[in-house]
């Protein structure tokens, strides 16, 4: 085998290995981004979709926020207008979190129908927009 063929075989092996590692890394760390309606359709079609890492974007339902300061547990419901899910989060919520704010919840939907969040991100609305000039 000549030097050019050895180089080509080596290059193919290296590129193939790097491609495989990239694909497997993306598969392990990739997450779905869904709305509550999309999540309910996904669970209806595929009952094995529970306990899969995902991000769900929706609004907090007004009047559903409950905080337990002693255990640092935050419970609330999210909805996109047609589907609603309860969320439980252990930790401190973001400063901009309030009743009826738009949120992105990272976590897993369990068999009990509750999304157990590992992270809650709150949209800050117009808080930091420039004041219009008169």
Which tens digits make up the pLDDT trace of 80-113?
989 999 999 999 888 888 887 899 999 999 999 9
- Indicate whether 64 and 26 sit together in one domain: no
CATH number of the domain to which 78 belongs: 2.40.50.140
Q: Running along the chain, 134 residues long, what does each successive block of 10 average in pLDDT?
A: 86 90 70 88 88 91 92 94 95 86 93 94 68 64
- Indicate whether 75 and 14 sit together in one domain: no
Domain, as residue range, for 15 = 1-30
133 domain-assigned: no
- Indicate whether 84 and 109 sit together in one domain: yes
Buried b (16+ CB within 10 A) or exposed e, 14-49: eeeeeeeeeeeeeeeeeeeebbbebbbebbeeeeee
132 domain-assigned: no
d(CA 89, CA 6): 55
CA quadruple 107, 36, 122, 93: dihedral, nearest 10: -50
- Indicate whether 69 and 80 sit together in one domain: yes
For residue 13, how many other CB atoms are within 10 A of its CB? 10
- Indicate whether 14 and 40 sit together in one domain: no
pLDDT at 58: 93
- Indicate whether 23 and 46 sit together in one domain: no
């Amino acid at each position: 085998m000549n030097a050019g063929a050895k180089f080509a075989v080596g290059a193919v092996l290296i590129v193939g290995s790097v491609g495989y590692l990239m694909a497997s890394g993306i598969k392990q760390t990739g997450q779905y981004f869904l709305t509550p309606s999309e999540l309910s359709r996904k669970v209806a079609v595929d009952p094995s979709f529970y306990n899969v890492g995902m991000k769900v974007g929706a609004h907090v339902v007004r009047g559903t926020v409950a905080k337990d300061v002693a255990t640092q547990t935050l419970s609330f419901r999210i909805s996109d207008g047609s589907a609603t899910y309860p969320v439980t989060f252990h930790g401190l919520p973001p400063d901009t979190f309030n009743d009826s704010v738009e949120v992105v919840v990272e976590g897993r939907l369990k068999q009990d129908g509750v999304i157990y969040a590992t992270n809650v991100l709150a949209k800050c609305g117009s808080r930091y927009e420039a004041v219009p000039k008169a």
